[in-house]
Structure 1
Amino acid sequence: MIEPVQLPAPWRDVRLTVVVPTYNEAGNLPVLVERLLALPLPGLSILVADDNSPDGTGEVADKLAIEHPERIQVVHRAGKEGLGRAYVDGIGRALEAGAEYVAQMDADLSHPPEALPGMLGSLLSTQAGVVIGSRYVPGGQLDEAWPLYRRVLSGWANFYVHTLLQVRIRDLTAGFKIWRADALRDIGLHRVQSNGYSFQVEMHYLATKLGHTILEVPIRFEERLDGESKMTTATKVESALMPFKLRGRHRNITRSDAGPAGADEPSDSTPDESSRSGADKSSHSTPDESSR
């Protein structure tokens, strides 16, 4: 477990909402919440979007919200509609509640919560619209326990999507990231139609098309210890077809089509170089002219 970066006063207090979609994660959610609330980020809150999990994850989330009423909110959704729909719902509610920055992460503990302060510092020290916790930039790692077929599938998916969409991101399918609220409003959640894991690709594609800089910083991706992967055959089929749909759906989108930016973006005063939280190790991805 890494040691969280200590951010300077104006940065550690920003309103950061971590959106966590859940489906059958009753065993992992309390551990994740404990680690998130232990971070040196007093402005951090958690929004759990549960898809009516049959294992009682929703009830577990409610108990955690009772214990931490000022920092945890639970959204109970009618049923399992896919990762993308849960994220659109959760992110939309976070923006409505006044979040300045919105983080996405899985509930299965594959994404290290302790990396969030460093990712936030990297975002605030640049003009990027989003920072990705990346497995595939220098310094990024995959848990040795991750099965070979998952490694091959992930590597092929990134190559396949990059070839079709020409988006210069090494970890195109990454699900661990922090967005500026203005970038999310600019993208417009109403445009996002993906249901499954291809949601991540669609968000990256839209951000690129609209001219937002995407920053990748290295993380170690862990294999889940409790529960089962939600990757199904239907999800794989959707992910394979989605790049073709995205090229047609968003072909003509330009910066002038973007939604209104939020007016509550805080000023990011730059602290001294010692607190830039590893941004020098990052990979900066800028919009690819061929994808405009």
Structure 2
Amino acid sequence: MKDALVIIPTFNEIENIEAIIKAILAQEKDFDILVVDDNSPDGTSAKVKELQSEFQDQLHLLLRANKTGLGTAYIDGFKWALQHPYDYIFEMDADFSHNPKDLIHLYNACAIKGADISIGSRYVDGVVNVVNWPVSRVLLSYGASRYVRFITRMKIADTTAGFVCYKRKVLETINLDEIKFVGYAFQIEMKFKAYLKKFNIIEVPVVFTDRTKGKSKMSGSIISEAIFGVIKMKFNSLFSN
């Protein structure tokens, strides 16, 4: 078993899943993979099971009965990881918006440079590291990160980033059962919980490329959760220990 696990949540990612798995396992650094699939009707989990015969000790599958949100998928993945002796646990999308070649940079930030959390950041160098997004979406995402930073006071440029490496002790310290957000705001909440506990957070510049296959899971309810939930999250933190 390797010291690093990449968690990939999936729902209808049959067009991407085989390629992303093989790309991760082709890296010079050895990683294990846990696919958390929400019972995709397109056969994503069946493809993973097929690939497990090729990558027996590296590829794992956690099959959930229903689609209950990105946050709950990661929480289930984190709990699975903590039942195994991994020291570094990654979040990563299945659609190649996160480049597998950047995994080693996030790993080194934690394993060598002393970070407790390393973030693959689109915005630490401005907005030049986003490819194939329309300007309107870039501005929405960048503005959301600025908004979150203003409300929470976290010194993180890309607060909504979903390409992250956690040291094991971070996930052991945060009460995962108390994470409230289920959509993309989950990414904000995890960073905020870690920030409040004074973990060392480092941003690593990466190039984010929009998916070319499959469909985005973004929705209006997810955006609303992030906008209004952040205020409530910050308010609650003022009255908690």
Provide the residue aligned with 2:17 in structure 1: 29
Question: Contact 1:158/1:170 (CA < 8 Å) preserved in 2?
Answer: yes
Select 2:141's aligned residue among 135, 145, 154.
Answer: 154
Q: Tell me the percent identity.
A: 36
Query: Could you report, residue by residue, the CA deviation over 1:226-257 in whole angstroms, capped at 9, with x for unpaired residues?
Result: 01110011111111111122123433455xxx
Q: Distance in 2 between matches of 1:216 and 1:181?
A: 18
Query: Could you report, residue by residue, the CA deviation over 1:53-106 in whole angstroms, capped at 9, with x for unpaired residues?
Result: 121111111112222110011011111101000000011101111211101011
Question: Contact 2:2/2:32 (CA < 8 Å) preserved in 1?
Answer: no
Is 1:18 matched up with 2:10? no
TM-score scaled to structure 1, two decimals?
Answer: 0.79
Is 1:216 matched up with 2:213? no
In the comparison of the two structures, how many residue pairs are matched? 240
Is 1:103 matched up with 2:90? yes
Q: Distance in 1 between matches of 2:180 and 2:52?
A: 30
Select 1:181's aligned residue among 164, 168, 176.
Answer: 168
> Which structure 1 residue ranges, 5 or more long, are not aligned?
1-12, 255-292
Residue type of the alignment partner of 1:188: N
Select 1:124's aligned residue among 111, 117, 138.
Answer: 111
Q: Distance in 2 between matches of 1:52 and 1:251?
A: 39
Provide the residue aligned with 1:276 in structure 2: none
Provide the residue aligned with 2:41 in structure 1: 54
Provide the residue aligned with 1:194 in structure 2: 181
Question: Contact 1:206/1:250 (CA < 8 Å) preserved in 2?
Answer: no
Residue type of the alignment partner of 2:226: S
Cα deviation, residue 191, structure 1:
2.1
Q: Distance in 2 between matches of 1:88 and 1:253?
A: 22
Q: Distance in 2 between matches of 1:141 and 1:162?
A: 19
Residue type of the alignment partner of 1:241: F
Residue type of the alignment partner of 1:98: P
Structure 1 residue matching 2:102: 3-state secondary structure: helix
Residue type of the alignment partner of 2:4: L
Question: Contact 1:209/1:253 (CA < 8 Å) preserved in 2?
Answer: no
Structure 2 residue matching 1:67: 3-state secondary structure: coil
TM-score scaled to structure 2, two decimals?
Answer: 0.95
Provide the residue aligned with 1:90 in structure 2: 77
> Which structure 2 residue ranges, 5 or more long, are not aligned?
none
Cα deviation, residue 126, structure 1:
2.6
Question: Contact 2:52/2:59 (CA < 8 Å) preserved in 1?
Answer: yes
Query: Could you report, residue by residue, the CA deviation over 1:178-218 in whole angstroms, capped at 9, with x for unpaired residues?
Result: 11001111122122121000000000100100010110011
Q: Distance in 2 between matches of 1:107 and 1:26?
A: 10
Provide the residue aligned with 2:156 in structure 1: 169
Question: Contact 2:36/2:61 (CA < 8 Å) preserved in 1?
Answer: yes
Structure 1 residue matching 2:53: 3-state secondary structure: helix
| Stretch moving more, 27-36 or 239-248 | 239-248
Residue type of the alignment partner of 2:134: P
Select 1:41's aligned residue among 19, 29, 53.
Answer: 29
4+ residue segments displaced more than 2 Å: 248-254
Cα deviation, residue 125, structure 1:
2.1
Is 1:79 matched up with 2:69? no
Q: Distance in 1 between matches of 2:216 and 2:102?
A: 22
Q: Distance in 1 between matches of 2:231 and 2:205?
A: 29
Residue type of the alignment partner of 1:199: F
Structure 2 residue matching 1:206: 3-state secondary structure: helix
